[in-house]
Amino acid sequence: MIKKVGVIGAGSMGSAIAEVFAYNGLDVILKDQNMELTEKGMKNIKRILSDFEKYLKERPIKEIGRIEKLGIALTEEQKNLIVKNMGSTIDQDSIIGRIKPSDNYNDLKDCDLVIEAIFEDQSIKNKLFEELSEILPDNTIVASNTSSLSITEMAAHYKKPENVIITHFFNPPYTLPLVEIVPALQTADSTITAVFEFFSALRNHREKLVPVKVKERTGFVVNRILIPMINEAMKIVDEGIADIKTVDIAMKKGAGMPMGPFELADYVGVDIVYHVLRSFREAFGDNYIAPETLKYMISAGWWGIKKGRGFYNYKK
Ligand SMILES: NC(=O)c1ccc[n+]([C@@H]2O[C@H](COP(=O)([O-])OP(=O)(O)OC[C@H]3O[C@@H](n4cnc5c(N)ncnc54)[C@H](O)[C@@H]3O)[C@@H](O)[C@H]2O)c1
């Protein structure tokens, strides 16, 4: 039974994943390389929670506005009823209070599940699994949030490879419920079952989490489809067929996508798109060569929303 969770890496994914666990009432240890980085993650969690509370407060007011826009006049009593039935709130302090910021591996000792969300680099992750072998008890399940690296290789660096698995969240996990569950070759059935049971009982800010089992193959399901689409969008711009904004409008208005490929790339992180494309090229061949522009964007630090600049400029 998973009751206490550790998250290693308090970056954009790690901090948001920790928030989802704490939102579900679980005790969480959030660890980064030093306290300054962990506190940065805690700050992100506070922002996520205050945005969520604002959204919850505004929801009934927006609903009243929507109904009145239809020409339906509501009485004060009806408005109060909408506020009463739709209005909800969260206890930010107790959610935050369940997350213990840390820079010390020893704090993870009594966690039933530890998820790593550190840099997307196979050797750094392998080293982490070796370090965790020294610290974690034999029954801890160790998961990776990797988007493109080999879990079989990470498992080979852990003392109990049968306890190792990928739990791949999507950005942001507090609104996107999918979790791709990817066993390594060595993963025990009991680990898969425990992880499935655990995630099936959790919810994010909107709905229940949706774990799906996927085989270990580059890109799994979602990225295998999304990343080539973003690559194709970049090629279209390079060939002068349309500009960035037009491509985004086309895919939103013609294909019903909620975000265009470039908006999505900025959201996911241009650096992540670049790294995933490199692993796609290795796995699937030259169709996945990224346009050169992407390389220069990486050098310039135009990594998307997190850096204030990607395909679009977010600096006001
Ligand atoms: N960003 C996304 O949209 C997304 C989506 C799904 C999966 N992922 C995956 O999640 C992981 C993290 O991605 P991110 O976007 O949050 O990265 P990020 O760069 O925002 O955060 C990574 C964090 O890990 C920390 N870190 C690095 N090495 C560490 C170590 N040895 N011990 C403790 N902390 C360490 C860094 O200091 C940093 O704070 C990657 O594997 C990535 O592929 C990312």
Q: Which atom of ligand 1 lies at the shortest distance from residue 169's CA? A: 6
227, 280 Cβ separation under 8 angstroms: yes
Domain that holds residue 280: 224-307
Does a structural domain hold residue 72? no
Does a structural domain hold residue 116? yes
Q: What is the DSSP string of 49-63?
A: HHHHHHHHHHHHHHH
pLDDT at 275 over 90: no
Q: Angle 76-86/35-69 helices, nearest 10 degrees?
A: 150
Helix-, strand-, coil-residue percentages of the chain, each rounded to 5 = 55, 15, 35
Please enumerate, as own/partner, the contacts of 173-176 that have beta carbons within 8 Å and a separation of 24 or more. 173/13, 173/16, 173/17, 173/19, 173/20, 173/204, 174/16, 174/19, 174/20, 174/23, 174/48, 174/52, 174/204, 174/205, 174/206, 175/204, 175/205, 175/206, 176/204
Indicate whether 149 and 201 sit together in one domain. Answer: yes
pLDDT at 44 over 90: yes
Largest CA-CA distance found in the chain, in angstroms, rounded:
66
Choosing from 167, 192, 213, the residue where a domain stops is: 213
- What stretch of H or E contains 195? helix 189-200
Indicate whether 145 and 246 sit together in one domain. Answer: no
Indicate whether 184 and 286 sit together in one domain. Answer: no
What CATH number is associated with residue 245? Answer: 1.10.1040.10
For 146-203, what is each residue's pLDDT tens digit? Answer: 988 999 999 999 999 999 999 999 989 999 999 999 999 999 999 999 999 999 999 9
CB of residue 11 inside a 6 A radius of ligand 1: yes
Active site residue 180: yes
pLDDT of residue 315: 87
Mean pLDDT of the chain: 95
pLDDT of residue 86: 85
Choosing from 189, 213, 237, the residue where a domain stops is: 213
| Best probe residue, ligand 1, of 19, 34, 220, 272 (max atoms within 8 Å of C-beta) | 272
Indicate whether 201 and 233 sit together in one domain. Answer: no
Indicate whether 179 and 296 sit together in one domain. Answer: no
Please give the angle made by the CA atoms of 126, 131 and 133, to the nearest 5 degrees.
95
Choosing from 213, 238, 273, the residue where a domain stops is: 213
pLDDT at 85 over 90: no
Q: Which of 12, 44, 126, 147 is catalytic?
A: 147
158, 185 Cβ separation under 8 angstroms: no
247, 260 Cβ separation under 8 angstroms: yes
- Cα–Cα distance between 191 and 137 in angstroms, integer? 15
3-state SS class at 316: coil
pLDDT at 233 over 80: yes
Does a structural domain hold residue 99? yes
CB of residue 32 inside a 6 A radius of ligand 1: yes
Does a structural domain hold residue 275? yes
What CATH number is associated with residue 139? Answer: 3.40.50.720
CB of residue 19 inside a 6 A radius of ligand 1: no
5, 114 Cβ separation under 8 angstroms: yes
Active site residue 223: yes
For 277-302, what is each residue's pLDDT tens digit? Answer: 988 999 999 888 888 889 999 999 99
Indicate whether 138 and 187 sit together in one domain. Answer: yes
Q: Which atom of ligand 1 lies at the shortest distance from residue 267's CA? A: 3
pLDDT of residue 87: 78
Indicate whether 26 and 145 sit together in one domain. Answer: yes
| Best probe residue, ligand 1, of 145, 153, 178 (max atoms within 8 Å of C-beta) | 145
Question: How many domains does the chain divide into?
Answer: 2
Q: Which of 168, 231, 263, 279 is catalytic?
A: 168
- Cα–Cα distance between 255 and 241 in angstroms, integer? 18
At 120, is the pLDDT very low, low, confident or very high (cuts 50, 70, 90)?
confident
- Cα–Cα distance between 299 and 274 in angstroms, integer? 11
CB of residue 223 inside a 6 A radius of ligand 1: no
Mean pLDDT of 53-71: 92
Mean pLDDT of 211-225: 95
- Cα–Cα distance between 125 and 121 in angstroms, integer? 6
pTM of the complete model: 0.90
Indicate whether 190 and 239 sit together in one domain. Answer: no
3-state SS class at 42: helix
- Provide, rounded to the nearest whole percent, the portion of the chain with pLDDT above 70: 100
Indicate whether 259 and 285 sit together in one domain. Answer: yes
Does a structural domain hold residue 54? no
Indicate whether 181 and 237 sit together in one domain. Answer: no
What residue's CA is closest to ligand 1, atom 11?
Answer: 117
- Provide, rounded to the nearest whole percent, the portion of the chain with pLDDT above 90: 87
pLDDT of residue 148: 84
Indicate whether 8 and 145 sit together in one domain. Answer: yes
Indicate whether 249 and 174 sit together in one domain. Answer: no
Report residue 101 as tokens. 């910021």
- Cα–Cα distance between 181 and 210 in angstroms, integer? 10
Closest CA to 195 of 169, 233, 221, 157: 169
3-state SS class at 247: helix
pLDDT at 1 over 80: yes
3-state SS class at 15: helix
53, 92 Cβ separation under 8 angstroms: yes
What residue's CA is closest to ligand 1, atom 9?
Answer: 146
Closest CA to 296 of 238, 236, 233: 238
Please tell me the distance between residue 129's alpha carbon and the centre of ligand 1 in angstroms. Answer: 15
Mean pLDDT of 57-80: 91
